[in-house]
Structure 1
Amino acid sequence: MSTTTITAAPNTGSASLGLAVPPFTPHAISVSLPTWRDNVGYEEGEKRVIDSMVSGYPRFFIHLTIRKLARICEQKFGVNGELCLLCPSKKIADHCRAFMLARLAQEGSNTPPHVRLVQYLICPENTPVESSSPQQARPHSSASIQCVELHIVLFPADIFPIAKQFWQHSGMGISSRLAEHCLSLLPDDLSRSQSPPQSPLPSSPTIPRAAFRAPNKHYSVKHTPKSPSLGEARPAAFVSQAQNNASDELSKDQSTYLEERYGRNLPLSAGAYAKRALRRRIAGVLLRDSSDDGPGGPSAGAQDAEVGPSSRGVQDVTEDDVYLFPTGMGAIWNAHQLALGARPPAKSVCFGFPYTDTLKILEKWGPGCHFLGHGLDSDIDTLEGILAAESASSPSTPPILALFTEFPSNPLLRCPNLSRLRALADKYDFLLVVDDTIGNFVNVEVLPYADIVVSSLSKIFSGDANAMGGSLVLNPKGRHYAALKAHMAVAYEDNFFTEDALFMERNSRDFAQRIKIIDSNTHAVCAFLHSRSQSSPSPPPLPAIKQVFYPAYITPENYAACRLPSGGFGGLFSLTFTSLAASEAFFDALPCHKGPSLGTNFTLACPYTILAHFYELPWAAQYGVEEGLVRISLGMEDQEWLLKCFGSALEAAEAVV
């Protein structure tokens, strides 16, 4: 039986400023910023907003549970005021340390700081030591609880912003559920005596920042912006007063009850089943994707589950070609690490205006990248010139390492011509990596064109906005499949915490059905808004909407080339307006949740450019990402109610034109 509730009754408004979205969710992955002024105030460090923040997107806002565990580790192992980041494995901690030292060297640091690693084996008291990796299951029996091996990166406090870049870009830090598990193994007097730090961290140099930096501002102090192509991030200040006063704060017993009451918990011993079910679901090999639970866990993950040829467009794909990661960005970071490890060194290409951290990964690891930010066919012409020039200068090696692109892109919903890109990849021998998060594999089929497909499972695959995850799929028909597979056999480690995987598996059982409802809702709302826009064949006399960015209207021929016969156009769209005042009026009047993230079962909106590129607005604008752009992820609410909501918001926008 499906575990996701289809929302028939509308959500009448957003949560209060700074609280979790969804409300009453201990591991929520969004935060409420209900007005345009709240979002601007967030970016400007307005005290009213900062003091209200108790949640945020996990790669940018370090969860309060993780902060609590970090403070314990700092007091136990730190010296001279050292701070720390918490990693799920030694390999990730090594990557973090190497990244920090490399970035500091690039910034001209004459005396490299002492960045050190500590391995911390956390065991419950009076329990025989049985070491385990963080991703292994924790049985409910207290007598058989396994220890957790935590890897701590300690460093001087003034370089925290550099460490935070690794946390943000790689997406490979520990999850809040893993931190909660670690705290449960510590003595009660130790875990209860600690609370998140309340004083700000020391000031530090500004650093590049990425989309949805809501948590960054929660930590922040004011700073001077740097290069518009990079943006900024700011150091952290831990705020706990708002958490203590939050109206939606739940006790541990209450939150556990809610999760278990609605069927979203399974014994952690079922973790292997859940991960196998996830890999099979993503590979498209399940002949019957049952929502039932078997004796050991989800029946879709049982050894005797019925599987067959893949439905992903490449029949040879199996569950063994699917790799799971703690976050979607973790999948992208690992795809880039895979390319660097398996192929000759060269610059990569970022094709199209991407979710910001993808560009940061390609810039900060390896030889760098070429950025073709429009993602149109004219950029493919430019790409051909780059490839020809690089090949002429070095004919013995591939001209580029890999090309990364989104299908469609976030937030402009543009789709590249994958057929042309595939032809160039074959001709010039580079990898083609496609992020299908926005399109999703119920609607589009991109794997036949790609060597690697990455996706954020945190979005519509989950839908409930209470778990993070990512996937990477190798195309067994790709010319470099053998080399990529061999490298993954040596390099891959499973850092997807079991409890996060359990939630993700339960959430995703009915994702195909949810997508159909969301596709239908979005198509209806976009048709209405498009008819009232400046780009409509019959625009109103004084339109408030300039353009609707939606795959049915933006590069439709490229989307159609990969659209499945029964596929829709997805649940994401963006709007630009004829004035900034119209943008603000529309956003403020829209009665839905407002905050970062997308692909939720409920409608979620944000002023994307304000959140993602506040200190680089002119740079973003040159690629069509305007200051007043509003991005909306449609949910499963009643369609007629949604049309009324958007109609009233549009009236508010038109009133100020």
Structure 2
Amino acid sequence: MECWPFDPKIASGQPIPPVEHAISVSLPTWKDNLNYEDDKKRLVGALVRGYPRFIVDERIRTLGSLCVQKFGGSPKESCLPFPTQQIADDCREFIERRSSLAGPTIYAQLAHLRLISTENKRALDLHIVIFPLETFPLAKQFWQHAGLGITTRYSNLCLQMSETATYETPSLISTTEKTRDDVSFLEANCHYDLELDSDVEAKDALRLRIAGFFNTPDSVSAQDSGGSPRSVSSEDVFLFPTGMAAIWNAHQLALSSRSNSKTICYGFLYTDTLKVLQKWGSGCHHLGRGLEPDIQELEHLLETLTAAAELSEPPVSALFTEFPSNPLLQSFNLPRLRSLADKFGFLIVVDDTIATAVNVDILPYADIVTTSLSKFFGGYADVMGGSLVLNPQGRHYEALKTALQASYVDTFFSPDAICMELNSRDFEDRIRTINSSTEYICDFLRERSLAGGCPAGSSVIRDVYYPKYITKELYDSCRRERGGYGGLFTLMFTKETASHSFYDTLSCCKGPSLGTAFTLSCPYTILAHSAELEWAARWGVEEGLVRVSVGVEPLDTLIEWFKLALAAAESAP
């Protein structure tokens, strides 16, 4: 297997990989990451490169500026474009609801642009949410948390078509009226074939591929049921434009199909998952450690809520968790959680992005499994995507399937789906190579850590967080016969200067995201929790940790990188 063919030493601020639709950005030093976060705070609407949910790409902003101009907007207005009116409505509702919590309600407006191919008359829609310029940080929260915005491929096509467009006279948009929706249409006199047939084939292939990984003979469900469980079909797989879109829709599904009760965030999960649970519905109960005491606390909470409510609906609508978690790589007691879910009637939603379905089978314990396809599945960091899989053996399957089929709208853009299908063809081979390399590297580093037995004061690595060492029994209970421990690990250091030196010296690519075919590292806490460092530290997520996603580079190259980085860390003052 060939490694991703580019030099990992990429200048700060440049895309990783160096391609048009890259989804990461190079931040090769610790200081670069601090500057990046400072710039995001100061210039939240001006950065042009970054992870697509974190930074609105310059091409999408260019398209947004064009939209505001065409609708007679002023320089004091901004906008975000979405592929459907429902998503635009959801964004507007979020802006108005969240702004009202802090002061006067800010009213956003909607506009609709339609681009039509003169070759085949197929249409491409843009649903625009327009709001005061100073409201952009709030609107971007929806963009980031829900993951439902248009992609760079989508915006490129819109910009290409707009170059030869003719316009109807647009209606003036006001930001002072609450209920007014202005609609105008744009017809592009250019040739572009959306290749819908290829798109259908690509999405069918993706659904079949994803379903197949849940139906292998070494699954836990197959072992527990005599080898003949009810199989996951391609119709149980729903595709989304991002992993967070899958999680956001899973949350919406739980609220609509079960109850509007609070949810449970179990363990220290990825930051935007917690934000979704907190900002939509009735909020959530956060049990951030996910250890045995948390299960006892959860059971006590459920019993208390049930006794107090005395209602027929469940005390909570759903429990969200990860297996393992990001960035602490903890695995949780899914059988115990399943037992509580069955007793109290709530859903369990598990995200398997870090382990992947090649390595673990968590479906027997989940009603819904979500995955960020942008990570290990897609692998090459040039396309976003997500999936939601329903457990056909789950007690809530029929109700969930009916509700989701009624509400689901496919917004996974055709060219993105085609790219994802091509990228994922070598997914299983990649993850098995990554499993092997990561385990070797982690063994190498742990032998040189305090947790691995080095005497106090003799090592700058305090611990290696990796499923082989962290809650191993729980991970192994779901690990497939041929499964490994995945491609992600986190290093904790004894002093911050050591973590900074290690990171700065490490020769791999460095920037946000994970699961890439090339090794990618980042100071996760700085990027994900810069505004809440003390809060994250209370849950064991230290400011100085370094997260590493291992790629398919030759093992001797990888080991040399880590030896040099470790030597630099040991020499740090």
Q: TM-score, normalization: structure 1?
A: 0.78
Q: Aligned-pair distance for 1:49?
A: 11
Q: Decide whether the 8 Å contact of 2:335 with 2:365 is kept in 1.
A: yes
Q: Aligned-pair distance for 1:52?
A: 11
Structure 2 CA distance for partners of 1:366 and 1:58, relative to 1, 3 Å? same
Structure 2 CA distance for partners of 1:330 and 1:313, relative to 1, 3 Å? farther
Q: Deviations over 1:332-375 (max 9, x none)?
A: 00000001111122100000111100000000000010001111
Q: Decide whether the 8 Å contact of 1:314 with 1:475 is kept in 2.
A: no
2:92 corresponds, among 80, 90, 97, to 97
Aligned to 2:33: 39
Distance 2:7 2:268 in 1: 33
Aligned to 1:581: 497
**Pair 1:351-2:327 in alignment:** no
Q: Deviations over 1:501-537 (max 9, x none)?
A: 0000000011000000000110010000000001113
Q: Deviations over 1:389-427 (max 9, x none)?
A: 101101322111100000000000001100000000001
Q: Decide whether the 8 Å contact of 1:542 with 1:654 is kept in 2.
A: no
Q: Aligned-pair distance for 1:113?
A: 3.2
Structure 2 CA distance for partners of 1:51 and 1:549, relative to 1, 3 Å? same
Aligned to 1:326: 241
Aligned to 1:186: 162
**Pair 1:376-2:291 in alignment:** yes
Tell me how large the CA RMSD over aligned residues is. 2.6
What letter matches 2:393 in structure 1?
Answer: K
1:181-580 to 2 correspondence within 5 Å?
181-188=157-164, 269-284=197-212, 314-396=229-311, 397-539=313-455, 542-580=458-496
Q: Aligned-pair distance for 1:146?
A: 2.1
Deviates more, 1:489-498 or 1:112-121: 112-121
Distance 1:352 1:287 in 2: 27
What letter matches 2:151 in structure 1?
Answer: S
Distance 2:61 2:337 in 1: 43
Q: Decide whether the 8 Å contact of 2:40 with 2:47 is kept in 1.
A: no
What letter matches 1:121 in structure 2?
Answer: R
Distance 1:31 1:8 in 2: 16
Aligned to 1:158: 134
Aligned to 1:68: 62
Q: Decide whether the 8 Å contact of 2:516 with 2:551 is kept in 1.
A: yes
Aligned to 2:220: none
**Pair 1:648-2:564 in alignment:** yes
Aligned to 2:113: 120
Distance 1:113 1:83 in 2: 13
Structure 2 CA distance for partners of 1:625 and 1:180, relative to 1, 3 Å? same
Q: TM-score, normalization: structure 2?
A: 0.90
Q: Aligned-pair distance for 1:48?
A: 13
What letter matches 2:58 in structure 1?
Answer: L
Q: Decide whether the 8 Å contact of 1:17 with 1:49 is kept in 2.
A: no
Q: Deviations over 1:144-202 (max 9, x none)?
A: 252212111111212111111111110001111111111121134999xxxxxxxxxxx
Deviates more, 1:564-573 or 1:115-124: 115-124
Structure 2 CA distance for partners of 1:96 and 1:26, relative to 1, 3 Å? same
1:408 partner SS: coil
Aligned to 1:195: none
Q: Decide whether the 8 Å contact of 1:402 with 1:431 is kept in 2.
A: yes
Number of equivalent positions: 538
Deviates more, 1:39-48 or 1:525-534: 39-48
Q: Decide whether the 8 Å contact of 2:214 with 2:363 is kept in 1.
A: no
Q: Aligned-pair distance for 1:489?
A: 1.6
Q: Decide whether the 8 Å contact of 1:285 with 1:319 is kept in 2.
A: no
Distance 1:48 1:154 in 2: 21
Distance 1:70 1:312 in 2: 53
Distance 2:156 2:146 in 1: 21
Structure 2 CA distance for partners of 1:417 and 1:34, relative to 1, 3 Å? same
2:3 corresponds, among 1, 7, 11, to 7
Q: Decide whether the 8 Å contact of 2:253 with 2:400 is kept in 1.
A: yes
Q: Aligned-pair distance for 1:283?
A: 0.7
Distance 1:164 1:8 in 2: 32
Q: Aligned-pair distance for 1:79?
A: 2.6
Structure 2 CA distance for partners of 1:167 and 1:386, relative to 1, 3 Å? same
2:497 partner SS: helix
Structure 2 CA distance for partners of 1:90 and 1:582, relative to 1, 3 Å? same
What letter matches 2:505 in structure 1?
Answer: A
Structure 2 CA distance for partners of 1:287 and 1:482, relative to 1, 3 Å? closer
Structure 2 CA distance for partners of 1:313 and 1:340, relative to 1, 3 Å? farther
Aligned to 2:183: none
Q: Decide whether the 8 Å contact of 1:42 with 1:50 is kept in 2.
A: no
Distance 1:487 1:286 in 2: 22
Deviates more, 1:531-540 or 1:586-595: 531-540
2:231 partner SS: coil
1:44 partner SS: helix
Q: Decide whether the 8 Å contact of 2:122 with 2:194 is kept in 1.
A: no
Q: Deviations over 1:202-245 (max 9, x none)?
A: xxxxxxxxxxxxxxxxxxxxxxxxxxxxxxxxxxxxxxxxxxxx
Distance 1:177 1:170 in 2: 19
Aligned to 1:133: none
Aligned to 1:106: 101
Q: Aligned-pair distance for 1:603?
A: 0.3
Q: Decide whether the 8 Å contact of 2:319 with 2:346 is kept in 1.
A: yes
Q: Deviations over 1:89-112 (max 9, x none)?
A: 011111111111110111131xx3
2:80 partner SS: strand
Distance 1:653 1:388 in 2: 49
Distance 1:58 1:498 in 2: 18
Distance 1:540 1:394 in 2: 52
Aligned to 2:222: none
What letter matches 1:22 in structure 2?
Answer: P
Q: Aligned-pair distance for 1:43?
A: 2.0
1:595-634 to 2 correspondence within 5 Å?
595-634=511-550
Deviates more, 1:542-551 or 1:266-275: 266-275
Q: Deviations over 1:9-61 (max 9, x none)?
A: 8x6543101000001x1110000000001111222339999999642100011
2:329 partner SS: coil
What letter matches 1:71 in structure 2?
Answer: S
Q: Decide whether the 8 Å contact of 1:278 with 1:505 is kept in 2.
A: yes
Deviates more, 1:631-640 or 1:178-187: 178-187
